[in-house]
Amino acid sequence: MLPALLLLASGSWIPQQSGSEAELRGLAVVDATHAWASGAGGTVLRTRDGKHWERLSVPGGEALDFRDAEALDGSTVVLMSAGPGDASRIYKSGDGKHWTLTHTNPDADGFYDAIAFWDSRHGLVLGDPVKGRFRVRLTGDGGSTWAAPASESMPAALEGEGGFAASGTCLTVRPGGQEAWFVTGGARVSRVFRTADRGRTWSVAETPVPAGKASAGLFSVAFLDGSRGFVAGGDYKDARLAALNGARTEDGGKTWVPAPIAPSGFMSAVVAVPKTPADLVAVGLAGSAISRDAGRTWVSLDETPLNAVAFTDARTGWAVGPKGTVLRFGAAAAGEALRLDRQVRPAEDLEGGAGDGGGFVGGQEEDGSGDIARP
């Protein structure tokens, strides 16, 4: 365990050629050689050697924006596209070549934000509010079928409240457990919703991370166990805004205290690193950072703008971002890694900002600059 922890503390992001210029937001890491990435324009990428990426085709999904990917095993993957109404879909494949459309959002006013799985069979998909309440649908067969809970107690949404389909991490679960959490923004406050019975009943808590406008709030949530969690966010329209961008909990999400991430600015994703006691990694347009103490303190890792991140252990992780960016985390030979003393592209230098333009997030059309619009 110790060598792996030392690598996480001293590792760096190593650029990989994705062969794509798409905005990448979905990411699923299986092991050191297998991972999936997805994004705008029907983009689905796969690596089977940990180094080289191939583009796959999803029939009927060429115009979709695949915002989340979940790997159920070494060969099975579930993809979620985000968009208004029936543009929110779920596909499943056992080999990356043959795809099945397993679910289309039946709500004309709906918009899917993220999916997550407790195990290889049981999972849930989160959708923005319809008729004043967030939508949740469950699967018990590995994503082949989806249905609303038989009885669901979901607190009412606030005016303007929604989830951000920015990284596939506005929703998370405790693997093998009963809990799930999702985070929101766009309303007067940012909030965390929690279930302890796999989506049948929900409670909600406010957090200190500022919201108050359509582009601001919480974008991501991660839990180390059933008690210790962390949320991250900010304002995607101001990537370098020096405002509170994180909060942590030690009671399962009932209460939250401020916990700023360094560097300051917009963070779109935070994940717990499996097989470590207290390690978290956060990424966003402001860069990336690592915490070794459950989010109490952070160390800046890099300034490259990113959208999503995923790890399987302290040795194995990837991040994806604008313009087809794919980075692998690990020890690198001199000159290979993106280090803090090297000139990197700041967010404002990326044409089109956070997206490719002409897409949808959180139920509204993007403004043409590629920025994420709120519901």
C-alpha to C-alpha distances, 108 to 144, 157, 227, 261, nearest whole angstrom: 21, 18, 36, 37
Model pLDDT for residues 349-374, shown as the tens digit of each residue: 333 333 332 222 333 333 332 334 33
pLDDT at 187 > cutoff 60: yes
Work out how many domains the chain is built from and give that number. 1
Max Cα-Cα span within the chain: 57
Higher per-residue pLDDT: 306 or 150: 306
Predicted pLDDT at 139 = 98
Distance, in Å, from the CA atom of 315 to the CA atom of 230, rounded to the nearest integer, reads: 21
**Is position 370 within any domain?**
no
**Is 338 inside any structural domain?**
no
Among the residue ranges 129-143, 294-308, 324-338, the one predicted with the least confidence is 324-338
- Residue 106 tokens, joined: 């039946």
pLDDT in tens, 9-47: 557 899 999 999 999 999 999 999 999 999 999 999 999
- Phi first, then psi, for residue 178 (nearest 5°) are -115, -15
- Closest to 231 in 3D by CA, of 164, 282, 277, 197: 282
Mean pLDDT, to the nearest integer, of 257-263? 93
- pLDDT tens across 150-163, in order? 877 899 999 999 99
pLDDT at 83 > cutoff 60: yes
Q: Give the closest residue to 135 by CA, choosing from 120, 119, 114.
A: 114
What pLDDT was estimated at residue 366? 37
Residue 76 identity (one-letter amino acid)? T
| Domain assignment of residue 168, yes or no | yes
In the chain, helix, strand, coil percent, each to 5? 5, 40, 55
Question: Is the confidence at residue 7, as pLDDT, over 90?
Answer: no
Domain holding 163, by residue range, is: 2-332+343-365
Q: What percent of the chain has pLDDT over 90?
A: 82
Distance CA 111, CA 362 (A): 6
Closest-CA residue to 182 (of 214, 220, 146, 155) = 220
Sign of the Cα pseudo-torsion (10, 242, 220, 182, in order): positive
| Backbone φ, ψ for residue 227 (5° rounding) | -115, -45
In this prediction, residue 255 carries a pLDDT of 98
**108, containing H or E segment:** none
Query: Torsion-angle region of residue 268: left (phi > 0), alpha (psi -120 to 50) or beta?
Result: alpha
Return the pLDDT at 341. Answer: 30
Q: Does residue 195 lie within any of the structural domains?
A: yes
Mean pLDDT computed over 309-325: 97
Mean pLDDT of all residues in the chain?
A: 88
- Specify the pLDDT at position 337: 41
pLDDT in tens, 115-153: 999 999 999 999 999 999 999 999 999 999 999 998 778
Banded pLDDT at 262 (limits 50, 70, 90): confident
Establish if 372 belongs to a structural domain: no
* Residue ranges of E strands in 188-292: 191-195, 203-206, 216-223, 229-235, 246-249, 257-258, 269-272, 280-284, 287-291
List the beta bridge partners of residue 218.
Answer: 233
* Proportion of the chain above pLDDT 70, given as a percent: 85
Distances, alpha carbon 61 to alpha carbons 5, 88, 247, in Å: 40, 11, 36
Q: What is the CATH number of the domain that holds 175?
A: 2.130.10.10
Asked if 175 and 222 touch (Cβ cutoff 8 Å), the reply is: no
